[in-house]
Structure 1
Amino acid sequence: MSNKELQALKERYVAAGAASPNEQFADHATNAELWDADGKRMIDFAGGIGVLNIGHRHPKVVEAVKAQLDKLMHTCQTVMPYEGYVKLAQKLSEVVPVKGHAKVMLANSGAEALENAMKIARAATGKTNVICFDGGYHGRTFYTMAMNGKAAPYQTDFGPMPGTVFRAPYPVPYHGVSEDEALRGLKMAMKADSPARNTAAIVIEPVLGEGGFYAAPTSFLKEIRKICDENDILMIADEVQSGFGRTGKMFAIEHSGVEPDIMTMAKSMADGMPISAIVGTDKHMDASGPNSLGGTYTGSPTACAAALAVFDVFKEEDILGKAQALGDKLNKRFSQWQEQFEHIDNVRNLGPMAAFELVESKDSHTPKPELAAAITKKAKEKGLILLSCGMYGNTLRFLMPVTIEDEILEEGLAILEESLKEVGA
């Protein structure tokens, strides 16, 4: 079917709140390229919102999923467990930097991972509250919606949010929030809203995802670790978007040396197959009773097979080395653009988790979201898939596969540069 025919079906049958505004429909893809239903080729700098760090349809992952389909598709692991689940749990426990011996629960999505992380934190501490941060994004279930540090569009139409969720500032000096101010805000939240005796967890993204690709300073993460240790609070690192090589290390928290009590992950964990994980210190993960955690499809055999193959690819193809090299390339190009273009500022990256801001002026730092929207639109017309993000909608973020070929990367950057010139950046 053509894009036009599919769009007509979408308008008739897909709920408006779930429907993409994009009128192109993906047909097939390989690594960093995809083709729509009309055969138009696109370069993918979005990666399914950070899901495709090793590219569309990596051959080793495809092979692993096909092999698993020939053996077993589903039993529900709580009814009849299988090898893939326990082998993936072992692999994750060996590489995830939490305090002490790690245990694992598998789920289906990032939101499920955060939801279950909070259930575990409550069971482990006997406390109810959570403190999150401005700009954070944790999911679309009711509790994770309340945890999000940005209301629209995630909370707008859905009435009162669950209680016991409190918020503190995230350090973004470029927009006027220093690290000291963020720490004062966190401590004030614990005095005014959620005292330590009621706080089960502090949840933080080591690098904000939807919130704008701002990395938390190492000193800030260490201070959170100290506050948690002193007050019997669990530190939960949300690595759903920043994990699996996006920052040049397997997990962003590794840049700081801080060990959280629990980590959540999803997205690039299985190169497009739906799976997530909650990995935490064994005494915390074992705190709730039998059959208290799980779900019908959690840790499905095919998704586990894909995730195990992803680990093999990371080792065999030096994905972390490629990620570091890609981050250096992006930083160099974006820094040149910051000098070249009037409205580009605050170029930043942690590995290839890279971004820059569109602003009225470099002196004012005033966000210019309409320019970011114009650039993404122009780039799409020219065959480049690009995403904006941030509290102000003025940040362009880059989530192209780490495995992107050099010539495809350069082609995509050339399209972006043309788009920047044409819209007057």
Structure 2
Amino acid sequence: KKGFGSFVPDIYRIPAPNMYRGIDGMTEEQYINYCIKKLDESFISQVDPDSLAAIIIEPVMGEGGFLSMPAAYLHKLRQVCDKHGIVFIADEIQCGAGRTGKMFACEHSGVIPDIVVTAKSIGAGMPISATTGRAEIMDAPHPGGVGGTYGGSPVACVAAIESIKILQSESFLKRVNEVGEIIRITLEGWKEKYPLIGDVRGIGAMRLVEFVKDRKTKEPDADATLEIIRDAVAHGLIMIRAGLFSNCIRLLPPIVITDEQLAEGLQVLEDAIARAQEKRKL
């Protein structure tokens, strides 16, 4: 949030589960239960749930570091929303549009949101976003109560309609998982070879590498991450960071990528990682 204040009041930010940075000594199940307990406590210490209008969450966090929200945690949020009349909003702008192998990332948990927000991939490069929700919510404002300067661009809408047809197709989703599996296998191989890599994670073709100074302490290594990105860019591969500590590199290749192109891109990134690792041995 550095340099971006002040913020709108009455918005409460709750720490999300991070399975890689859980609590030592806890099993995954114990850690998830701990996060749910802390969520319950936040409804006492921070805000009364009866006063909440909506809860917004990314089923798989993008900027946050490709953190998949545990199904049990999302189901807990759904229960809280149902109990207190809170609108459950799924932010699927980055993790939606088939990126995780399903049209929407929330489908992996079986949780059905009240509203889904989408953008980016649904237009295949054309500028468009969408808010989709239950009729009683979407129809609540009076006619003309919700609008936008660029709403309803005919060209962007046609592009989105055709894109969504492709994104929902079996062949496209099959290819998403094929691309994701190639990346997964490759990244797990890297983790075995390079101590700089603390974790590799993701779903479908939404994958990420997290870099650390020490695997035991999991101390983030943002410097190495930036060094690797600069090296990769110098060799023709555009990369972007992610994660709370800016120590992660995200992989979001276009699904139309060929196996050969994917292998070439992954090799460029691995070479950059290898060079960064070698420097730290000197």
In the other structure, the counterpart of 2:80 is 227
| 8 Å Cα contact 2:103/2:168 also seen in 1 | no
| 8 Å Cα contact 1:167/1:189 also seen in 2 | no
Q: What TM-score results when the alignment is normalised by the length of structure 1?
A: 0.62
Equivalent position SS for 2:43: helix
1:251 to 93, 98, 104: 104
Q: Does 1:339 align with 2:185?
A: no
Equivalent position SS for 2:214: coil
In 1, the alpha carbon distance for the partners of 2:223 and 2:172 equals: 35
Q: Does 1:289 align with 2:142?
A: yes
Amino acid at match of 1:213: F
1:264 to 105, 117, 126: 117
Following TM superposition, by how much is the alpha carbon of 1:179 offset from its aligned partner in structure 2, in angstroms? 2.0
In the other structure, the counterpart of 1:207 is 60
Q: Does 1:166 align with 2:12?
A: yes
User: Does the C-alpha gap of structure 1 residues 284 and 316 become closer, same or farther in structure 2, counting only changes over 3 Å?
Assistant: closer
Gaps of 5+ in 2: 24-30
In 1, the alpha carbon distance for the partners of 2:49 and 2:165 equals: 42
Q: Deviations over 1:30-83 (max 9, x none)?
A: xxxxxxxxxxxxxxxxxxxxxxxxxxxxxxxxxxxxxxxxxxxxxxxxxxxxxx
Residue pairs, 1:77-226, within 5 angstroms:
151-152=1-2, 156-158=3-5, 160-176=6-22, 178-226=31-79
In the other structure, the counterpart of 1:82 is none
Q: Percent identity?
A: 38
Q: What TM-score results when the alignment is normalised by the length of structure 2?
A: 0.92
Following TM superposition, by how much is the alpha carbon of 1:421 offset from its aligned partner in structure 2, in angstroms? 1.2
Following TM superposition, by how much is the alpha carbon of 1:268 offset from its aligned partner in structure 2, in angstroms? 0.2
Q: Does 1:370 align with 2:223?
A: yes
Q: Does 1:380 align with 2:226?
A: no
User: Does the C-alpha gap of structure 1 residues 346 and 313 become closer, same or farther in structure 2, counting only changes over 3 Å?
Assistant: same
Following TM superposition, by how much is the alpha carbon of 1:312 offset from its aligned partner in structure 2, in angstroms? 3.1
Amino acid at match of 1:283: E
Following TM superposition, by how much is the alpha carbon of 1:197 offset from its aligned partner in structure 2, in angstroms? 2.0
Equivalent position SS for 2:270: helix
In the other structure, the counterpart of 1:399 is 252
Residue pairs, 1:323-334, within 5 angstroms:
323-334=176-187
In 2, the alpha carbon distance for the partners of 1:256 and 1:189 equals: 23
In the other structure, the counterpart of 1:236 is 89
Higher relative contact order at CA 8 Å, sep ≥6: structure 1 or structure 2? 1
In 2, the alpha carbon distance for the partners of 1:352 and 1:340 equals: 22
In the other structure, the counterpart of 1:305 is 158
